[in-house]
């Protein structure tokens, strides 16, 4: 239910917008999800040595890559 609420909150301001504005907002969201998925794949491909350099463990990465694609980290703005 958390993800459903997140999506509802993200698009709630678009209720009175034009269909074009809604389509653009949905397109931007899909692009963000695609980028997040790509970033998680790149993170999963890092070596243990590279992960150690950035202060992460393989367990941290497993947790991150197993999150659903719509589960975005906190974003500002």
Digit-coded pLDDT (tens) for 32-75: 999 999 999 999 999 999 999 999 999 999 989 999 988 988 76
The kind and range of the H/E element at 1 are none
DSSP string, 4-39: HHHHHHHHGGGTTS-HHHHHHHHHHHHHHHHHHHHH
Mean pLDDT within 9-36: 83
Mean pLDDT within 7-36: 81
pLDDT of residue 3: 57
């Amino acid at each position: 239910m958390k993800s459903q609420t997140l999506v509802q909150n993200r698009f709630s301001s678009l209720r009175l917008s034009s269909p074009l504005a809604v389509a653009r907002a949905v397109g931007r969201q899909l692009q963000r999800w695609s980028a997040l998925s790509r970033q998680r794949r790149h993170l999963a491909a890092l070596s243990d040595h590279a992960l150690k350099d950035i202060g992460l463990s393989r367990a941290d990465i497993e947790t991150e890559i197993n999150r659903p694609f719509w589960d975005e980290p906190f974003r500002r703005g």
